[in-house]
Amino acid sequence: MGQALTALLGGVAMTSAWPNLSELLMPSDAEAAIGWVGAPLGTGSVSEGRCDLAPEALRKVLRRIGRYDIDTGRELAAAIADRGDVALAGMTIEAATDPLRAAVAASVADHALTLLIGGNNAVTRPGLLGMADALGLPLERCGLVTLDAHFDMRGLEQGLSNGNPVRALREDGLPGSNVVQIGLAPFANSKAMHDDALSGGHLVLTARQVREQGISDAVDQALERLEGCDAILVDCDIDVIDRAQFPGAPGARPGGMRALDFFLAVRRLAARPQVRVIDLTEWDPPLDPTDLSALTAGRWLAEALAGFERRPASV
């Protein structure tokens, strides 16, 4: 990769015996095209676990993920300003919302893309609200793409949880027509939630539709639906992946999305300049005593960077 592109992306030029993603993590005050916000939120989960450990687990695995993409002949170079983890220990989701929202807003103001590393799926709502705050956008101009086995449309009667961020965002004013949900799993959702999503105007593409029609078609439909949005958050709930390929997600199911389809979707979505925030949620590192889930999460980051580096030079 040429020095001009490296400079454009706020990248780093370095060589080592094993060029790897950990080399791209920079201090929080570094000039970088990409910002990293750790969101170790573990409270309020439908399934109890330790998703709060994921941000640090992802940092640790990056040294095992190379920067060279043999399929494209390009080496990743975009620097990532690691803005640290938001202090959330002991907080309820309600209490954590404002600090998370502020942290994401600050990152979006400074970077072309923000990686929001959860934590459970409740971080998606403050992530999208913070994105809107930073850009001065009403929610009507924002879009949401979820790669998720679940609708996340549980009721709000018992408060916020990782099972209702989409419902909460709808209540905040996000139009249903601005929501695209990809990878919904059978026997993991209720009819009422499905009906609510459809009647509310969501574009719903199930795991079966992804398999039969192809992930490229699903992403094309998502981008067409959200073409009029000025900013988009992509929610990567890792439980969308087939549980055999990602055992470290408490909500994952057998028969979910193939990891390769997940990677392709992330790369293509990250290439769109309107995508300002991509989150990674619902990874519970202790659930997987092997390194499969950690390496898959690390590959997620590589795919997001590869997509970002395909953006137009004006970004």
Q: Is the pLDDT of residue 20 over 80?
A: yes
List the structure tokens of 124.
């998606």
283-292 average pLDDT score = 96
How high is the pLDDT of residue 315?
A: 43
How high is the pLDDT of residue 314?
A: 41
Mean of per-residue pLDDT scores for the chain: 93
Structure confidence by residue, pLDDT tens digits, 67-98: 999 999 999 999 999 999 999 998 999 999 99
Structure confidence by residue, pLDDT tens digits, 160-171: 999 999 999 999
99-116 average pLDDT score = 98
Residues of the chain with pLDDT > 90, as a percent, come to: 89
How high is the pLDDT of residue 4?
A: 42
How high is the pLDDT of residue 8?
A: 47
pLDDT band at 294; cut points 50, 70, 90: very high
pLDDT band at 220; cut points 50, 70, 90: very high
List the structure tokens of 301.
């980051």
How high is the pLDDT of residue 192?
A: 94
- The whole-angstrom separation of Cα 126 and Cα 165 is 9
236-248 average pLDDT score = 97
8-37 average pLDDT score = 82
How high is the pLDDT of residue 105?
A: 98
Residues of the chain with pLDDT > 70, as a percent, come to: 93
Structure confidence by residue, pLDDT tens digits, 117-136: 999 999 999 999 999 999 99
Indicate the pTM of the whole model: 0.93
Domains of the chain from N-terminus onward:
3-308 (3.40.800.10)
How high is the pLDDT of residue 48?
A: 73
pLDDT band at 2; cut points 50, 70, 90: very low
The answer to whether the CB of 230 falls within 8 A of the CB of 135 is: yes
Q: Is the pLDDT of residue 310 over 80?
A: yes
pLDDT band at 49; cut points 50, 70, 90: confident
The edge-to-edge listing of strands for the beta sheet with 25-26 is 25-26, 80-85, 34-39, 113-118, 275-281, 231-237, 142-147, 179-184, 203-206
